[in-house]
Structure 1
Amino acid sequence: MLYVILLAMVAGFLALRLYSVLGKRTGHEQPLPKPAEERATNVVLPRTVDAQAEPREAMVRPIEAGAEQGLRQIVQAEPGFDVVRFLEGAKAAYRMTLEAFWRGDEAELRELATDDVASAFVESIAARREAGERLDNRLVTIERATIADARLNGREARIIVRFDADIAAVTRDAEDRVVAGSTDDAVETHDVWTFARTLGASDPNWKLADTDEV
């Protein structure tokens, strides 16, 4: 009988210990992402590379071998830089830039891109308007974002990110008729974008400095 009582006491003690560990919030839990309409309209790619970030992403390997040396140089120049956060910000910037271009938002494009890239976007938007066309595109999903290269020239850092995404692309004329693309099918898209920033500058934003397709 004494043996049974001891077992019950041990079980009760273990239950209390489990509750103390699992039943309390630690203050480090990550909140659920906010809906898109509640997020800020401007994305700041975080300045801050945690040297421990890469092991957390080892299964995904979002960094190609050729980019590692450049990232180390960026980390040395700005120790707070965080690779994982940068990629999350890059994906948000990818979506925001595409959507701004599709709807012809020139002001937002100038916030997200360098002067040369923004001017190229604006010229394309002007040509589209002159032709009486509009884009009815939708970014379905970003399958993968990978850092393909990273460079540091003086204080200017450049990080090249390859995006693999699915995009539903439709062009409509002034009468809203579909003149190109499909409303039903998404197209696999492979873009290579370069983000640039002057390390140590007061402006924390990384801006789109170049675009290309694979």
Structure 2
Amino acid sequence: MDMDVLQLLFFAGLAVFLGVRLYMLLGKPSGRTHEEHMREERERARAAGREPRPADPHAEPAPAAAPAGPAFSGPAAAGLTAIAGQDPSFDPDMFAKGARQAYDMIVQAYAAGDKEALETLLSEKVMKAWGASIDARAEAGQTLVTEIERLKKAEIVEASLNDNRARVKVAFSAEIASETRDADGAVIEGDINTLKTVEEVWSFERDVTSRNPNWRLAGVRAA
């Protein structure tokens, strides 16, 4: 698969970014100024035989509307709010949907030994460890076959922002079948016909000051 396509798919981050930029361009009023609008209102009022009611100079000013902002809930709310405060394009719902796609892509790329694909999806530390595992498997003449039957859950359970480093942890629960075969094709571990429930927490990270919208897998632990 072309790497540009992988980057676009991963968390749909670029799509969100472009969507925000589009809103900035299209969501703002254009054309008439405020003064021109008020003048047209006065002219329409005079044509209808009425004058616009002048503002009461003694009236108390209307309270300012509270600024709109993200309202998140759950155990990760504080962290999500902090991240959204630094990255307006961040959307937890889209992140969770993208995480589901990323899970499948990463698991399949690791099984296939596709280090080129993994380099765009993993942090340097994780890539080093997983790359070594892929190399050892290749040197032994082994192949790994993995099938994801069903991804039952992808839920954000924790989020934080330290300096410019945003981290979001996602709890996954998946039904997976896998087996490892030797150079002759004999199964030496696992069983592709047996499903197992795998529950893990994946940590994704991103520098919110970076123009690159992609998040990278920075850690995996058992749930």
Give the TM interval when normalised to the shorter protein.
Answer: 0.7 to 0.9
Aligned-residue RMSD, C-alpha: 2.3
Confirm or deny: 8 A CA contact 1:44 1:204 kept in the other structure. no
Mapping for residues 135-150 of structure 1, pairs under 5 Å: 135-150=144-159
Distance 2:90 2:212 in 1: 14
Q: Secondary structure at the match of 1:113?
A: coil
Which segment is superposed worse, 115-124 or 70-79? 70-79
Pairing partner for 2:93 from 84, 89, 104: 84
The Cα shift of 1:103 comes to 0.5
Pairing partner for 1:195 from 189, 204, 209: 204
CA offsets 1:136-185 (integer angstroms, 9 cap, x no match)? 11111110001110000011100001100011111111111111111211
Corresponding residue for residue 51 of structure 1: 70
Corresponding residue for residue 41 of structure 1: 6
> Looking at CA atoms only, which structure, 1 or 2, has the larger radius of gyration?
2
Corresponding residue for residue 75 of structure 1: 84
TM-score norm. by structure 2 comes to 0.70
Mapping for residues 117-136 of structure 1, pairs under 5 Å: 117-136=126-145
Corresponding residue for residue 106 of structure 1: 115
Distance 2:10 2:98 in 1: 7
Distance 1:194 1:168 in 2: 23
CA offsets 1:70-104 (integer angstroms, 9 cap, x no match)? 01111112223111110111111111111111000
Number of equivalent positions: 168
The Cα shift of 1:187 comes to 0.7
- Segments of structure 1 that go 5 or more residues without pairing to the other structure are 1-35, 55-62
Quick one: which amino acid aligns to residue 87 of structure 1? A
TM-score norm. by structure 1 comes to 0.72
Quick one: which amino acid aligns to residue 44 of structure 1? F
Corresponding residue for residue 22 of structure 1: none
Quick one: which amino acid aligns to residue 11 of structure 2? L
Confirm or deny: 8 A CA contact 1:136 1:170 kept in the other structure. yes
Quick one: which amino acid aligns to residue 122 of structure 2? A
- Segments of structure 2 that go 5 or more residues without pairing to the other structure are 17-68
Distance 2:11 2:166 in 1: 13
- Identity of matched residues, %: 33
Distance 2:77 2:192 in 1: 40
Which segment is superposed worse, 179-188 or 149-158? 179-188
